[in-house]
Each structure stands twice: as C-alpha cells, then as structure tokens.
Amino acid sequence: MKTLNKGSQPKIELEYSSIPKVFFDMIKVGIIKSNLIAMLAGLCLALYVFDASFIANIVPIILSVIGSSLIIGAAGVFNNLYDRDIDAIMERTRTRPTVTGQVDTKSGLILGITITVLGGILLYIASPSAAVFGILGLLLYVFPYTMWTKRTTIYNTEVGSLSGAVPPLIGWAAISPELGHFEIWALVVTMLLWQMPHFYGIAIRRFDEYKAAGVPMLPVVKGIRRTYIQTNVYLVLLLLSSFLFWPLSPLVAIVAFLVSLAWLILSVATFDRNQTKKWSHKMFIFSINHITIVFLVIIAYSLIAQLLR
C-alpha cells in the first residue's frame, strides 16, 4: 500500500503490519476514549431519568457507542488532513501519518468520509436524533473550529468547546429525543466550561510550538497572565455549575463541587510566573482527573439509583 502526502513529502511504503497503528493515529483514539465517557454519562443519565431498561435498550446503546466512536474518529481524520502544515511544525504532532507521508489527502478523505457515513448510519439506527447530534458535532469541529477560528482568533477554544459538548447529547438522544430536562443541560454546561481551563493548560505547555506554527492560542496572543486569570474565571464558573446537579442528586453536586474547588485551589496555590509550564502540566493532569471523576460518578449514580427504585 503506497501513499503520497501533499507537498514535497516523499512517497512512503506503508507496511501492512503498520496499518492498524496508522489507522488509530488518524482517528485519535485518545480523544475518542475521553469523549465516549461524556457520551456514556449522557446515555446513563437518560436511562435513569426516563426509567429505561439497560437490557431493553442494549441494541441502541451498542450502536450509539460504535457510531459515536466512528464520528469522533472522523473528526480526527479531517483535522489531521487540514492541519498537516502546522502539525509538521509542532513537535507533538510531527509524527502524524498525514505529516510523515503515510497517508495522503485522497486516502485520508476516503477514510474520513467512509467512517462518517458508517457512524452516521449506526447512530441513525440507534436514534435519528442521536445521528443529528453526531453529525452536528462533527460539522462544528471541522468547519467553525478547524477550518476557521483555530487559525484566526483567540476564541478558537470557546468555539471548539461547542463540538466538545455534543457527546453527552448523543448519548442522551440514543435513549430519548426529549431535551426538556435540566439533567442533560447540566452535563452540557459542565463540558463547555471544563474545556477552557483544560485547553488553556495545553496551550501554555505547548506555547513555543503554537507560536512557531502561528496558531493564535490565548497565551500566545494575550500572554500567560491573561490566560491565568481567564482560567480561574472559568474554574469559578465550573465550581458554580456544580449546583446544577443538585436536583438530580446532592451527592453528585457535592462531588462535582469538591473536585472543581480542588482544581481552583491548585490553580491559585501553585501558579508561578517563572514556572508556568510546570503549572500548566499540573493543571492539564488534574483536568483529566476532574472530568473523569465527575462523569464516572454520574454514570455510577444513574445506574445504581435506577436499580434501587
């Protein structure tokens, strides 16, 4: 299997044994895993709210998990294709298949379109509304974020957060299209607010790379101090948003509040203007733990509470 990357990249002979790794690199498996937790949180929450049987809904659940994985993976593929010029400059992305020449534009487009169609079909079978949200999330990630704001404005993170907040809606819609319940919007708000301090941490860690690539991330354009202040503003909002879960469960609200408070304390207590990359690394690691804890608690509560009814 031979592919040729756009530009001056040499032709690369791709060994068949390397195909699985190249495929997983293209679809960004790590991002799929993190988004699936959010999707499952929305799904399990819907099972609880609508008192729907897990076993009776096993088919749409399986289809929505696979379909969501494919749609999220497709977003990664299109992002890799469009960003291969700046990926070649940044250290953490310069080994991506679209940069090394293992996957050319034509092959990447075929892969992206194929898994988009497959993912969309599976989501539609699970629930038409789940398919709508899945495609919406993909379009938001590819067009407003990747192809427009990522390279033009410091608000690219806010725009990108819109697509990042869609997975809970996919999971919820796989069980019911009814969106007039506060529980799902509490999840969406949490995802929206969480993403800013999370990605600001990445932007500071990779400050030099983003600057070299000309990507207008907030710390590159406005400086570390502005990013630090804005990070804390979003952390305070995230802390306050914890109370949105109170009608669902005081336990869930308290857990969300405590981990958000711990994150805010970490931000304020460990910030050092002379060691901002060390601080941003701590913030990044804690952000992963934060969202994982909150969503796992929501998943566990939804499943256990339903069993105890």
| First-residue to last-residue Cα distance in the chain | 56
pLDDT of residue 14: 60
- With a pLDDT cut of 70, the percent of the chain lying above it is 94
The Cα 30–Cα 273 span in angstroms is: 30
DSSP letter at 143 equals I
110-135 pLDDT per residue, tens: 999 999 999 999 999 999 999 999 99
Two structure tokens written together for 56: 């009776």
The Cα 99–Cα 103 span in angstroms is: 8
- With a pLDDT cut of 90, the percent of the chain lying above it is 90
Which residues 6+ apart lie within 8 Å of 264 measured at CB? 232, 235, 236, 239
237-287 pLDDT per residue, tens: 999 999 999 999 999 999 999 999 999 999 999 999 999 999 999 999 999
The Cα 65–Cα 72 span in angstroms is: 11
The Cα 72–Cα 216 span in angstroms is: 24
Examine the pLDDT at 5 and tell me if it is beyond 90: no
18-49 pLDDT per residue, tens: 788 898 899 999 999 999 999 999 999 999 99
Examine the pLDDT at 296 and tell me if it is beyond 50: yes
Q: How far apart, in Å, are the Cα atoms of 284 and each of 155, 281, 289, 292?
A: 19, 5, 9, 13
